[in-house]
Amino acid sequence: MTYKNVVVYCGSHFGNDPAYAAFAGELGEALGKNHFRMIYGGGTVGLMGICADAAMAAGGEVTGIIPEVFIAKEQAHRGLTALIEVPDMTVRKQRMIEMGDAFIILPGGIGTLEELADTANQRHIYGDPFAQPPIIICNIEHIYDGLLAQIKTWEEAGFIEPSEWGNLHVAETMEEVMGILKMKTKQ
């Protein structure tokens, strides 16, 4: 079975380099056109909104999972296929992790890093490393070079076992992202 539900974690800001927003738009469009269902945080702001708008414009399905705090701030995206309201950030994160067949990390800040770390840390529930969903870090304009260097440092220091991380991918182009999504199959 091929992947269907693709969770996208990304910044609630645009970032300073227009390449970030450009890639977010390209990703949304590619997900929509290739019939993946995009699942994300449900907001209108920053790269989140750009990616979701592009997926919808390309005829895709988009599900947003949004905590009450952002509904109160009127930052919920009301033009999605589905918007699921949840009480808080923790429930949202858990729902996204449960729903995702694959996970994509776009440029973002601390919130995105937390979502990446929490998703990667769930590997213990899968048992077999080959059953783990792919986590694709999009290293656009080298934004994650520092993080990737830290992962290497953990490996060298003996705190990360590389054989446990076969599902972690790094991509710099949309072709690489789509190649991973289309190549892998879910058991």
Interface residues with ligand AMP (CB under 6 A) are: 9, 11-13, 41-43, 45, 66, 70, 75, 108-112, 115
Q: Which is nearer to ligand AMP, 101 or 115 (CB)?
A: 115
Find the shortest distance in angstroms from Cβ 48 to ligand AMP: 6
Find the shortest distance in angstroms from Cβ 99 to ligand AMP: 14
Neighbours of 42 (CB within 10 A): 28
Residue of minimal Cβ distance to ligand AMP = 111
Find the shortest distance in angstroms from Cβ 163 to ligand AMP: 29
Q: Which is nearer to ligand AMP, 88 or 155 (CB)?
A: 88
Helices 89-99 + 110-121 axis angle, to 10: 50
Find the shortest distance in angstroms from Cβ 50 to ligand AMP: 13
Neighbours of 86 (CB within 10 A): 18
Residue 176 exposed, middle or buried by CB count within 10 Å (0-12, 13-18, 19+): middle
Q: Which is nearer to ligand AMP, 43 or 100 (CB)?
A: 43
Find the shortest distance in angstroms from Cβ 47 to ligand AMP: 8
Which amino acid belongs to residue 172? E
Q: Which is nearer to ligand AMP, 20 or 36 (CB)?
A: 20
